[in-house]
Structure 1
């Protein structure tokens, strides 16, 4: 009886092992660890379920800890926390996410501000590495710019501004800039955070693909991301391309001509000598300047000129007599 059981067990093990295909001349020897694992499963079918139970228990414990941290940090309920974690598209480590939430809890931010940041862009906030929110918050608080610009950047809260800054840093990093250089661009031109991420990406794409400049030029000329692309950059680029086609450029056009030249200076240098470029540049600038000089209609000054009266001989004699009587 014992011998028959051993034979049945041996045949069952052979069926579980991978068979060699018809093309192979010799099958590799079975791994001894696989044989032992299969034998343990045959002796105790509940062993696999028992090994999976500790992992499920650890996951449930980690999820409960994350829900507790979300409730303590942003005031989220269990249903809101579960919905938030299910909406994340990228897989996120529970340990790293726990460290990030503990860091947010220690930043002295209000729960309403954290909850608003999680509602607006949860993936952008929760994809940060631990320590990154603190550095970006300090960066935004120490940024030097006009008061109106800084108020607009921080209008929706410092944490949402942190997420917006991080989005733009990652965009510039994906296009070839290092993260420190991307932070230098944001520090020099904070207006980048007021534009949408699609607008910033469009400007970078126009700079690299259409104008032919490298993305590293943004470190030296960060104003490119702060000006209006349609009203400022594209008309100048069209003028330069036309002059290149007709051979009207002697020296190469640099980045400073597009960004740091005022409208009048660019007009006097590239447009005024070529009348056909005025419409490309955006209208007849010369006629507009003449209209600005004419502040009053023609002949309007005559209304303020005192009226002239003819002097008769009698009036002259009367004035002489009056002056002589006063002596």
Structure 2
């Protein structure tokens, strides 16, 4: 076999090597030309040439992941197998193993990991090791109203962490850093209650329609908490109209959109221009003139004495009566 291989390297083409086939050292049958071609291609070609790359599977890693999924999330063998089948490669098994070990070390209430995997498995499994711990610490230090906090944590702290991570990745895709995105969520936790599509629509409107940079959200995070259709769009329409007619002296800033009350914005931009009332929406001026009354209209008239008209004759008779009394 060694002699044949050395001859292959010296003489080409290979088929010319075998005019009179000679038996190999341990075989009485002539060598197969296709086999010699394959050996020559392996020896003389680049390393790994002609061999398709196959993903390497690690049975031990898969077995440990099955155990971690069963112990940490309560998944059955079939559920864990279906989950592992969707992983991209062997490198993800190591990362997922570290992630599941971290989740098991957090000692979350029973069923939270399973519920998070069922609701949004892609967002949870795409986290890097250490990220769940940081998000849970972020949620513990969240300062907001108790009603908002209870809504955020209504489905478990882990699902709240997954929701926060979704919003962070959305803002990062728009140009914010991770630190700034977390600052925005910390200042405006209501953004975690809205669907990601709603947050994406607000950011798109801020950049495309209003012409502001996404970095303004760090200074005015309440933009993500107000209603876009009822709060921002009417004000933007009024400002656009005033720009078209030259009614704006100073540029309109973000604070005019998010921090002015409806009454202050009306007095500043709508009241001097009556045609803007229809654009702004709602009969604001008529509503301002209405006074809230504690009693029905006309009830006070029942307690007022009736008033009679006085003629000249009545006045003359009254003077005679007063004069006779003196």
TM-score bracket, normalised by the shorter chain, equals 0.7 to 0.9
Q: In structure 1, what is the Cα distance between the partners aligned to 2:127 and 2:8?
A: 56
Q: What TM-score results when the alignment is normalised by the length of structure 2?
A: 0.77
1:38 aligns with 2:50: no
SS in structure 1 at match of 2:58: helix
On the 8 A contact 1:221/1:255 being kept in 2, the answer is yes
Q: How many Å separate the matches in 2 of 1:219 and 1:143?
A: 16
SS, match of residue 159 in structure 2: helix
Distance in structure 1 (CA, Å) of the matches to 2:284 and 2:4: 104
* Contact 2:103–2:132 (CA under 8 A) maintained in structure 1: yes
Tell me how far apart the structure 2 counterparts of residues 2 and 293 of structure 1 sit (CA, whole Å): 107
Following TM superposition, by how much is the alpha carbon of 1:215 offset from its aligned partner in structure 2, in angstroms? Answer: 0.4
For the aligned residue pairs, the C-alpha RMSD in angstroms reads 3.2
Are 2:8 and 2:40, in contact at CA under 8 Å, matched by a contact in 1? no
Change in CA separation of 1:62 and 1:268 when aligned onto 2, cut-off 3 Å:
same
| Shift, 1:304, TM fit | 3.8
Match of 2:206 in 1: 207
In terms of fraction of residues, the more helix-rich structure is 1
178 and 2 in structure 1: CA distance in 2 versus 1, 3 angstrom threshold: closer
Corresponding residue of 1:184: 183
How big is the shift at 1:84? 1.9
Say whether 1:267 aligns with 2:266. yes
1: distance between equivalents of 2:60 and 2:206? 49
Q: Please tell me whether the aligned partners of residues 62 and 94 of structure 1 are also in contact (alpha carbons under 8 angstroms).
A: yes
Gaps of 5+ in 1: 16-33, 42-47, 310-327
Q: Is 1:13–1:38's contact at 8 Å kept on the other side of the alignment? A: no
Matched, 1:238 2:242: no
Q: CA deviation at 1:5?
A: 8.1
After TM superposition, list the pairs within 5 Å mapping 1:41-56 onto structure 2: 56=56
- State how far apart, in whole Å, the 2-side matches of 1:264 and 1:121 are: 42
Partners of 2:90 and 2:81 in 1: CA distance: 15
Gaps of 5+ in 2: 16-37, 46-50, 309-326
Deviation per CA, 1:101-130: give whole Å up to 9, x if none.
000000011231110001001110111111
User: 1:258 and 1:105, CA in 2 relative to 1: closer, same or farther beyond 3 A?
Assistant: same
TM-score normalised to structure 1 length: 0.77
SS in 1 for 2:148: helix
CA apart distance, 1:91:
8.5
CA deviation string 1:182-235 (max 9, x = no partner): 000010000000000000000000000100000000000000000000000000
Q: Which residue of 1 aligns with 2:78?
A: 79
1:231-262 CA distance string (max 9 Å, x none): 00000000000000000000000000000000
Who is 1:101 aligned against?
100
Distance in 1 between the 2:78 and 2:44 partners? Answer: 41
1:282-321 correspondence to structure 2 within 5 Å:
282-293=281-292, 297-305=296-304
Q: Distance in 2 between matches of 1:91 and 1:137?
A: 28
Greater mean deviation of Cα atoms: 236-245 or 84-93: 84-93
Output one character per residue of 1:280-309: Cα deviation in whole Å (capped at 9) or x when no partner.
101221112223446655423113446899
